[in-house]
Amino acid sequence: MDPVDVRCAQRARERVSLHEVAWQPYRLPHPFVLLLLVIAMFGVTFATSAGAADAAPTARRAAQLTYMVRQDCGSCHGMTLAGGLGPALVPAALKGKPAAYIKQVILYGNKNTAMPGWSPLLSEADAEWIAERLLTGFPDGR
Ligand code: HEC
């Protein structure tokens, strides 16, 4: 065969093999790699949600909490928190009570009283935020 023909034939073969490579069906990564990816995704999700629970409430959450305290807590403690079925929650009434105690009552309630625990609805940071503000004068929210 003429040397030029030989090179042509070689190139033709190369072209065919390149073509084959390009048209290989997509192969999934090794199952172990997939498993690592899934674990990493769960890790990121968990880290961000746990971080959100610990961080101080955002402005949006603070507005929600203010509304909730005025409406839900207010239904027992009075809309102005000056007392009703439940005792007054104004700074003068709470004077000397530690924020940690107030936070505890908010989260877990007082046994054998009408005061319910709010831990299903409030995070630790939420309860802390409310406790601190009850002690210093709760925001109006209007
Ligand atoms: C169903 C009525 C009711 C609701 C709703 C309610 N409370 Fe109470 N709360 C009470 C009663 C009754 C007490 C008094 C319990 C006792 O005698 O120990 C109390 C006690 C407390 C105390 C302790 C006060 C003190 O001087 O020791 C805090 C703080 C408090 N509530 C905060 C809240 C907050 C914040 C909310 C809303 C997230 C809320 N409460 C919702 C009825 C209620």
Task: Give the closest residue (by CA) to ligand 1 atom 37.
Answer: 73
Ligand 1 site, residue 73, Cβ cutoff 6 A:
yes
Tell how far the Cα of 117 is from the centroid of ligand 1, in angstroms: 9
CB contact at 8 A, 107 and 127? yes
Express each pLDDT in 73-124 by its tens digit.
999 999 899 999 999 999 999 999 999 999 999 999 999 999 999 999 999 9
Tell how far the Cα of 87 is from the centroid of ligand 1, in angstroms: 7
pTM of the model: 0.67
Express each pLDDT in 11-34 by its tens digit.
666 665 555 555 566 676 677 666
Domain boundary assignment for the chain:
3-54, 59-136
Express each pLDDT in 54-73 by its tens digit.
689 999 999 999 999 999 99
Q: Per-residue DSSP letters for 5-51?
A: HHHHHHHHHHHHHHHHHHTSPP-PPPHHHHHHHHHHHHHHHHHHHHH
CATH domain 59-136 topology = Cytochrome Bc1 Complex; Chain D, domain 2 (1.10.760)
pLDDT of 51 reads: 47
Tell how far the Cα of 13 is from the centroid of ligand 1, in angstroms: 84
